[in-house]
Structure 1
Amino acid sequence: MPSPIDARVAVVLKGWPRLSETFIAQEIAGLEARGVALEIWSLRRPTDKHRHPVHDRVQGRVVYLPEYLKDDPSRVWAGWLKARRLPGYATSRARFLADLRRDPSANRLRRWGQALVLAAELPASIDRLYAHFLHTPASVTRYAALMRGLPWSVSAHAKDIWTSAPWEAAEKLADCAWAVTCTNMGADRLRALSTRPDKVKLVYHGLDFAHLPAPMHLRARRDGSDAADPVVILSIGRKVEKKGFGDLLDALALLPKTLHWRFEHIGAGELGDLLKAQAERLGIADRCTWLGAQPQKQVFAALARADLFVLASKKAADGDQDGLPNVLMEAAHQGLAIVSTRAAAIGEFIEDGENGLLAPPGAPEALSAALARMIAHPDLRQQLAHRAAETVRTRFSFDAGVDWIASALGQGVQPEAMLSEARAAE
C-alpha cells in the first residue's frame, strides 16, 4: 500500500458518476490507490442508469451541490450566510462580479451559488481543490477556493478548452496553482493563453491495464465477402455533432454493395433520433444496431465481437472538438484495428498507414474508402491493430500521469500566501 499523500483534496466535477467519463473515474481511483485522500463534489446528480466497475472502486465521500439554486434555496442561503464571513469572500465576490459583467448569464449566477455552498460546506480538513474541466467546474472551484484561501488546480480536456472564452481561460490559468491537459494540442492552446506557460502540464490519460480485460490477439478473418458472416464495425461515443456519426452513416452507405457489414453503436446523446432517421433514408437501417449507453462490461463485450473500430470525429459548428478519445486506446488495447479522422489530437496516437487509417474530418467519401480497405483485408487489420496496441503500451502510460498528479496534489501551498497573491492581482 502506498504511503498516504499529505493532503486532503476536494475534486469538483460536473457529474458523478458518468458513463462517458471513464477517464476521470480511472484517474480518481488511481489517486486513491496512491494514498490521496479525496472527496467528490458534483455539480449535478447522475443521469446514467448504469455504473462502471471503476466507479465502485472509488471510496471517497460524494457530495452533490444544488444543480439549480431554486431547487434548494435554503441551502444556498445558508451557504451565503457562512461564506460571506470567510476571509477571501470579498476577493472572490470581486472576481465573480467582473466575470458576470462580461458574461451576464443565468449559468454564471448558478456557479456563484454553487460556489457559496461548496465554500461553506467544505470540511476544515480539505487542503486544496481540484477541478475536472476548465469551464463550469473550474468556475465553481475558483470562486470557492478564493473564499477559503485554498490552492486549486484544474484538469482541462476538450470542449472546455475550445469553447471557453479566451479571457476566462486566461484568468483561471493565472489563478490556479497548475493545470494538466490530455493532449499536446490542448497544452499548446492553454500555454498560449497563460502568462505562466510552465503551469501547464501535458498528461495523457492512458489506460489502467490492471483493470481491463485481457486483449484479443486473434480475431476472425472476415473479409466482407460472406453475407451470412458480415464484418462487424463498432463505434462508441456520445451522439453529438463533434463525433461525426452523420458522416459515418454517409460513409457506410457509400461502401461497395459487394461488401457485407454490420454496424454497432454504443452511446447516448441528443442526436439519436436524427441519426436513426438518417440511416432509414440511406437504406442502411437494417444493418445498424443502436445499443445506447452501456456499462463497461458490455462495452468490452462489444469490442470483443467487433472486427474493426471507427470514430469519425470532427469540429462542431460551435468550436467543440474531441481531445484524444480514450475509446481509441481501449479499442487498440483490445486488439481492434482503427479507422478515424485527423480531427483534434487523434493524430497524436494514430499515424495513418502505420497503426491505423485516417481520413480528413467531415469527408464521408474518404472515410468510406478507408473502411472498405479495412473490411476487405483482414491481414491489414491484424497488422495495424498489433501496432496500435504496441503504441498504447509504450507511449501512453496511465501510471506516469497519475503519479505526477498525485505528487502535485501533495505539494502544500500556504493558504495565506494564496490569498495574498490573489489580492495582489486585483
Structure 2
Amino acid sequence: MHAPLKRRKTLIVLKGYPRLSETFIAQELLGLERAGFDLTLISMRKPTDKKRHPIHDEIKARVVYLPEYLHDEPLRVLRALVACWKKPNFKPLIKRFWADLRRDVSRNRFRRLGQALVLAHEWPDCAEWLHAHFIHTPASVTAYTSIMTGVPWTCSAHAKDIWTSPDWELTDKLESARWSVTCTRSGFEHMRQLTNRKDRVHLSYHGLDLARFGQFDTLRSRRDGSSRSDPVQILSVGRAVPKKGYDILLHALALLPANLNWRFTHIGGGDELAKLKPLADKLAIADKITWKGALAQQEVLEHYRSADLFALACRVAADGDRDGLPNVLVEASSQNLVCVSTNISGIPELLTGGENGFVVPPEDPRLLAVALEHAIRQPDLRHRLGQAAEARVRAHFDHNSSIRQLTRLFESEWQKA
C-alpha cells in the first residue's frame, strides 16, 4: 500500500487579500486547505475593502504582506537586495528583468522585482512551491522569485490579467510555469495559442461552493411590472468599472416603457459610481435605483433570493479588460434567478439565450432593454429559465470538481520530485 503523497508547503501570491470582489479565490483557498494543502498567502498590497466575507475568517493560512510600494519600506527592500546580490541566481534574475524592462519600460517592473527580492530573501515558512493567482503582476513577482530561489511555480489565470497582458509576456510565463489553469474556454484557447507547451495549459471552471448557495425552494413572485405598488425587482452585483457595462445597463433601463414598474438595486463599490449616479439623474431614473455599495456574501445571497431578475451588461473595455465568467452570474443562477447578460468571454459557457437565460450582444442598450422587458413581463418564462440555469450550475459548476482537478495537477508535479 502506497504512503500518501506529502503535500508541499505552498506560497500563494495574490495581488491583494482579502478582497470582496474575489470570493472565487477565497473559495478556492479554503477548498485547498480542506483538501490538506499547507498554504501561506503572499499579498502584494494590503486590503482596501472595509468589509470581509465570512469565508475569509474560515481560511487559516497565514498572510504575509509585501511592500506595496518600495519606498514605503526602503530598509526591507534594501536588506533583500543586499542578501540576494551575491547569490548565484541573482544574475539570471537580472537578465530576465532587463529583458522584460526593455519591452515594457515602467516603474511597475521595478516594483515587481523589489517585491520578488523581498519574498525570496524572507522566504516565509520554508516553502517548497509557488503559485500565482493572476498571470499579470502576481505572476511577475512569482516568476522572478522562482528564478531567484529555484523553487518551481504554477499559475491560475483569470480574465483581465490575460487580455490586458502583451502576448510576449504571456508566452514567457507560460513557458516557465510548470502548468497554468484558466476559467473560461476563450482564455484557455488564447493561452494555448501562445505556447508550445499546450499540455501545460488547463481549463478549470471556478464553480461555486453549493453548500453556501443552497437551493432556494420558495416560490418566486409573479410580478410582471403592472403594479406600481409592487414593482419588479432587478438586481446587479459587481464593481462599478467599465467592463461591467453599467452605463449601458442604465441606458437600457431608461428605454423601458413608461408603464412598466421596476426597481433596480446595485451591490458593489467602484470608481465609476461617481459617474453612474449623475447618469441616472440625467436619464430620469434615479428615483428607481438603490445603490447599496459593497456587501458581505450572506447579504448578497438574500438579495438574490428577493429579486425577480439579475442583469449584468458585460463588455470589452477600451484597454481590452473584460470579465471571464463572472461569478455573480453563477451565484444568481444557483438561486434559480434568471439572468440577463451579454455574449462575451465565458458567459455563453453558462448561459444560452432562450434555454436558461437572456443573452444579448454587448454595447447595445436597445436589445438589452428588449430582453429586460421580456423578462419583466413574463414571470412564467423567468421561472422556467431560472430553474434551467440552476440545474446547469448544480450539474456542471460545483467547485469541488475544480479542487479535485487542482489537487491532481499539484500532485502530478510533486510526484516527479
Q: Report the TM-score, using the length of structure 2 for normalisation.
A: 0.97
Q: Secondary structure at the match of 2:211?
A: helix
Report Cα offsets for 1:199-222 as digits up to 9, x if no partner: 100000000112334424511111
Query: Equivalent residue for 2:411?
Result: 410
Query: Equivalent residue for 2:385?
Result: 384
Query: Equivalent residue for 2:359?
Result: 358
Question: 1:7-406 alignment to 2 at 5 Å?
Answer: 7-123=8-124, 125-406=126-407
> Does the 8 Å CA contact 1:231/1:260 hold for their aligned counterparts?
yes
Q: Secondary structure at the match of 2:124?
A: coil
Q: Which runs of 5+ in 1 are unaligned?
A: 418-426
> Does the 8 Å CA contact 2:184/2:325 hold for their aligned counterparts?
yes
Q: Secondary structure at the match of 2:290?
A: strand
**CA distance change for structure 1 residues 239 and 5 in 2, over 3 Å: closer, same or farther?**
farther
Report Cα offsets for 1:353-381 as digits up to 9, x if no partner: 00001111000000000000000110000
TM-fit CA distance, 1:4? 7.5
Report Cα offsets for 1:70-114 as digits up to 9, x if no partner: 000000011112223444222122111110111110011000000
Query: Equivalent residue for 1:424?
Result: none
| Distance (Å, rounded) in 2 between the aligned partners of 1:59 and 1:326 | 23
Q: Secondary structure at the match of 2:256?
A: coil
| Distance (Å, rounded) in 1 between the aligned partners of 2:119 and 2:410 | 19
> Does the 8 Å CA contact 2:5/2:411 hold for their aligned counterparts?
no
| Distance (Å, rounded) in 2 between the aligned partners of 1:294 and 1:322 | 20
Q: Secondary structure at the match of 1:19?
A: coil
TM-fit CA distance, 1:145? 1.0
| Distance (Å, rounded) in 2 between the aligned partners of 1:400 and 1:52 | 23
Report Cα offsets for 1:166-194 as digits up to 9, x if no partner: 10010000000000000011000000011
TM-fit CA distance, 1:124? 6.1
| Distance (Å, rounded) in 2 between the aligned partners of 1:4 and 1:286 | 60
| Distance (Å, rounded) in 1 between the aligned partners of 2:398 and 2:306 | 26
Q: Secondary structure at the match of 1:315?
A: coil
TM-fit CA distance, 1:414? 9.8
| Distance (Å, rounded) in 1 between the aligned partners of 2:78 and 2:181 | 34
TM-fit CA distance, 1:394? 1.0
Output the amino acid matched with 1:317: A
> Does the 8 Å CA contact 2:5/2:415 hold for their aligned counterparts?
no
| Distance (Å, rounded) in 1 between the aligned partners of 2:210 and 2:410 | 23
| Distance (Å, rounded) in 1 between the aligned partners of 2:415 and 2:77 | 28
| Distance (Å, rounded) in 2 between the aligned partners of 1:76 and 1:367 | 51
| Distance (Å, rounded) in 1 between the aligned partners of 2:144 and 2:415 | 18
TM-fit CA distance, 1:411? 3.9
TM-fit CA distance, 1:123? 3.4
TM-fit CA distance, 1:122? 1.2
> Does the 8 Å CA contact 1:9/1:409 hold for their aligned counterparts?
no
| Distance (Å, rounded) in 2 between the aligned partners of 1:339 and 1:360 | 11
> Identity over the aligned pairs, expressed in percent?
51
**CA distance change for structure 1 residues 350 and 211 in 2, over 3 Å: closer, same or farther?**
same
The farther-off stretch of 117-126 and 269-278 is 117-126
Q: Report the TM-score, using the length of structure 1 for normalisation.
A: 0.95
